[in-house]
Amino acid sequence: MPELPEVETIKRGLNNFCVHQKIKKVMVLCDKSFVGPCEVVKGHEIVGFRRYGKALIVDLSGAVSLMIHLRMTGQLIWDGTERYAAGHPSDNFTAELPNKQTRVVFELENGTLYFNDQRKFGFVKVLPTEEVLKDKFIASLAPEPWQTKPEDLYEKFQRRKNSPIKAVILDQKVIAGIGNIYADEALFYAGIDPRTRAGNLSLKDTKKLVEGACKVMSASIDSGGSTMATYVKADGTKGDYLELFAKVFRREGQPCTKCGREIQKIRVAGRGTHICPHCQKELV
DNA sequence: CTAGGATCCTGTCAGC
DNA sequence: TGCTGACAGGATCCTA
């Protein structure tokens, strides 16, 4: 679930709450969720946080780093004098921890950091700091939307010309950080039907799509990511920031904010996909 | 090389 | 109530 804006939100929060603290103890409750020797982490201080696409890097003293990928259902929940939680939105944000979905626990000096992950697709991986950039996933990441040159992206679209454009922008080797929410939102911004073959986008279409990705992601980061724990709606019920800015994602059956026609949910590249059939045109 | 589908795992929800 | 299948904010692996 968590995409670039959510991971950026986590990074900023943890930098605020956890940096410069020593890791007193690590508990691995699910072997699959922790790659590498967990003993080497103990006793080291958190030096800082980095983010590459959807991957979070925790740099520790002793030239050791952690790479954390939340995949579909990962969450990082800081429990100190206050709670700070982000990632896949769920009751875990406010629940008693650890619980059934807790996979790794980091005891720090002023609180505890929980890595929760319902589906166990995510992981924490230990590696020497100098090898972070050599990690296969990190090394193959394309530039993020703000650094993407439309000309380069256009080239990649030509190479993948027969795939639906949505499938192509979900590929982290093509453009980094986009997931199912922001793919739908960026395509809506650009007025492009997600089923359009990538080869049918012009350079102008490509520019518009990059612009859309930048705008929707910046807006999300500015509002704290789409999945903060703290958002309470006016009526007192819980919500997430998603509903503050999403124009199509999870809005099937509701009117399009531009034209009033009904937002539809379809299936593209094996993923649930939300479109306005009137505002988004299939390019041929 | 590309394109498409299966797969990892747990949980929830709709339909019968 | 219980069962079944579909689906889920990701990425990789396998096959053609």
Any atom of strand C under 7 A from CB of A121? yes
Burial A78-90 (b: 16+ CB within 10 A, else e): bbeeeebbbbbbb
pLDDT tens figures, A144-158: 999 999 999 999 999
Strand C, nucleotides covered by protein (CB < 7 Å): 7-12
Confidence class of residue A232 from pLDDT cuts 50, 70 and 90? very low
pLDDT above 90 coverage of chain A, percent: 85
What would the pLDDT profile of A105-137 be if each residue is shown by its tens digit? 999 999 999 999 999 999 999 999 999 999 999
Per-residue pLDDT band at A242 (split at 50, 70, 90): confident
> Is residue A171 pLDDT above 60, yes or no?
yes
- Position A79 scores a pLDDT of 94
* Mean pLDDT within A177-194: 97
Q: What is the pLDDT, as a whole number, of residue A104?
A: 98
* Residue A244 predicted with pLDDT over 90: no
CATH assignment of A4-139?
A: 3.20.190.10
CB A163 within 8 A of CB A197: yes
* A277 assigned to active site: no
Strand A102-107 to strand A25-28: parallel, antiparallel, or no bridges (unpaired)?
Answer: antiparallel
pLDDT band of residue A233 (cuts 50, 70, 90) is very low
Active site residue A50: no
pLDDT for A231 equals 47
Q: Which two tokens stand for residue A113?
A: 């950091």
| CATH 3.20.190.10 residue ranges for chain A | 4-139
CATH number, span A145-275: 1.10.8.50
Does the annotation mark A54 as catalytic? yes
Please name the nucleotide lying closest to A241, CA to C1'.
C9
Mean pLDDT of A264-269: 96
Helix axis angle for A203-222 and A4-17, nearest 10°, is: 30
Query: Which pLDDT score is estimated for A147?
Result: 98
What is the reported pLDDT for A1?
Answer: 66
For CATH 1.10.8.50, the residue range(s) in chain A are 145-275
Structure confidence by residue, pLDDT tens digits, A60-104: 999 999 999 999 999 999 999 988 988 998 889 889 999 999 999
